[in-house]
A and B are shown apart, each in its own frame.
Chain A
C-alpha cells in the first residue's frame, strides 16, 4: 500500500474523531485533557452537518441553531447511520477562547476566531495570529492523538465503542 492509499484509507477517522469529540463534550462538563496536566473545555455550537454515503448516494443533514448537537434531529441522524463531517466548535482555555468550523474529512479548520490580539504593532500581529492558530492546532492535535491511542487499543472495542453506541441510542434529554 503506498502513502496515498494509506492517507485515503485513514480518512474516515476524522469523522469518528468528531463523533468522539461530540460525545466527550457532553460528558465531564466537556472538560478534556490535552496532556502535560492541561485541559480545555470544548463544545459544539451553532452548526453541524452529518452525512451518510451509500449505494443510493449521499444523504446530508444540516443543522443550525444555538446548540444543534443537543437536538433530537442530530441524534436521529446518528441513529440513521450518518456521521458528522462539519461542526462549529468552541474551545476555552481560560482566559482564551477559540471558535472554528472543523472539517472532519481533512481535519481542516475554517472561519477560525482567535482570542483578541494583545499587540498593537502591525508587524507583530502576524506572529501573534500564527501563534494562536498554532496553539489551536496543537490542542486539536493532542485530542486527536488521545483519540487515536484509544481507537487502536483493546479498550476501543471493549469500552469506548459500546459506550458510544449507548449514547447514540439515547435521546438528548435522557443524558
Chain B
C-alpha cells in the first residue's frame, strides 16, 4: 500500500508552517543527513529509522529529482529491525553459557557475566541473520501542509514523529475533529467551543 500504487490506507498529519525561500535545497540536505543507514551487528541498538527513496527502499542517495514531485515531497520511511527468534537466542545462549562455564571452571554465571554473554551471543546471531525491513511511503503536500503517511501503526507514527522533527525541525500534528475544524477556517468562536461541548446521548434524554 502506498502513495504511488496499491491500496490507499494512510494516516494524515499537518505541518503548520510557511516554507521559506530555498527550502527545497535545505530539506534535501537535512534528509541526506538522516538518510537510512544499515544496521551493523556490532551496534547494540535493535532498530534504526531513516529516509530512503520512495520508489526503492535500497536507494539511500536522496536527490531533489527523487524527492520532489512538483508540489509534493515524497520519501520512504525505512525502519530495519533485528528479529532474532526467542528459541534460537535461548538455545545459542545455553550453548555459550555451557562453554564459558566449562572454560572458567564455574557452576553459575553472575548477573554481570550473564548480561555480557547475552550481548556477545546477540552480536554473533545478528551476523547470521538479515534485519527485517519495513519501508512506508510518506507524501507531503507542500502547498497545504498535509502529510500522508501510509501506515496506521502507532509505533511507526512514534518513530516517524521523532525522525520528522529531527530532520525538518517541524512538528507533525495528527488529524482529527479539532484540527480539521481549525484547518477549514471555521470561526474561532466555533472552533474554541468544540472542547467545551458535552457528548450527545442518542439513545436517551437522561444523562
Which of A's residues lie within 8 Å of B, judged by CB? 1, 5-7, 9-14, 16-17, 19, 78-81, 83, 105-114, 125-127, 129-130, 133-134, 137, 141, 144-145, 148-149, 151-152, 156, 161, 164-165, 168
Contacts and interface: CB of A to CB of B under 8 A. Distances in A.
A146 to B, nearest CB: 11
Contact of A148 (B69, B139, B181): B181
B148 A110 contact: no
A130 B72 contact: yes
Given A13-B177, A141-B180, A152 B12 contact: no
Q: Which of A130, A134, A149 has the most chain B CB atoms inside 10 A of its CB?
A: A130
Contact of A108 (B72, B175, B193, B204): B175
A2 B196 CA distance: 13
Interface residues of B, number: 40
For the complex of A and B, the 9 pairs showing the least CB-CB separation, nearest first, are: A9-B195, A10-B178, A112-B8, A13-B177, A110-B9, A10-B194, A6-B195, A7-B178, A10-B177
Main secondary structure of the interface of A (DSSP, over half): helix
Contacts of B190: 148-149, 152
Contact of B200 (A6, A107, A144, A161): A161
A151 B11 contact: no
A11 B7 CA distance: 26
A137 to B, nearest CB: 8
A42 B175 CA distance: 22
A145 B58 CA distance: 42
